[in-house]
Amino acid sequence: MNALLEWLVRFFAWVFRRPRLNIRVIEDEPDKDAGGLRFEAENTSPSPSSLDPVIQARFLYPSKGRMRRGTATFDVRELDRELPSFKAKLFSASARALPPGYGHAWFRVYRSRMRRGVARRVRIRSALLEPLGPVRFWFELWRFGLCGRVKKGGPMTLSDWQALKRSQGPH
């Protein structure tokens, strides 16, 4: 019984010490050659870690009147990718190659990793960089595939988008 309790304590200590990553995409400009993707990364665990230099992206983009699936690989430009505990850092990344319709891509999923720990996925609806949770993301993607509609409320106005960006702020 004592060995089981000791094993459980070690297991839960390992789970809570495991590095966790929070990512917030600030800007994704496909026209820029260098550093078109800007994002903020934060390690929300007590153990320090570092960011993997490669970010994978999946998305849907328009091509010849149809929506096609695409992938992209971004390389982080900063050499110092160390992530101390509970401190956010800004990074930029450059794409190796992007399809011509990437600027109008929908349902983007950015996947980034740390040196150790679980990969983090950031799900975004459109070029306005609206973050979505996993359930809503998959529901809207499913709905878009079936009937070609994105959301019921209609498009976001420019003033709504500016208010969203101000509320996110430069953290």
Q: Place 122 in a pLDDT band, splitting at 50, 70 and 90.
A: very high
- Dist. CA 128–CA 156, nearest whole Å: 9
What's the pLDDT tens digit per position in 75-87?
999 988 888 888 8
Cα–Cα distance between 129 and 140 in angstroms, integer? Answer: 15
pLDDT confidence of residue 169: 64
Sign of CA dihedral 84, 85, 91, 93: positive
How far is the C-alpha of 96 from the C-alpha of 85, rounded, in Å? 30
Segment (H or E) for 93: strand 88-95
| pLDDT attached to residue 91 | 94
Burial (0-12, 13-18, 19+ Cβ within 10 Å), 8: exposed
Between the alpha carbon of residue 150 and those of residues 20, 138, 153, the distances in Å are: 31, 11, 9
Res 128: pLDDT:
77
List the alpha helices (DSSP H) in 46-109.
Answer: none
Quick count: other Cβ atoms within 10 Å of Cβ 19?
Answer: 20
**pLDDT tens digits along 123-166:** 998 877 888 899 999 998 888 888 876 665 555 677 877 777 77
User: Taking residues 75-102, what's their average pLDDT?
Assistant: 89
Element (H, E) at 134: helix 134-147
Q: Cα–chain-centroid distance for residue 102?
A: 16
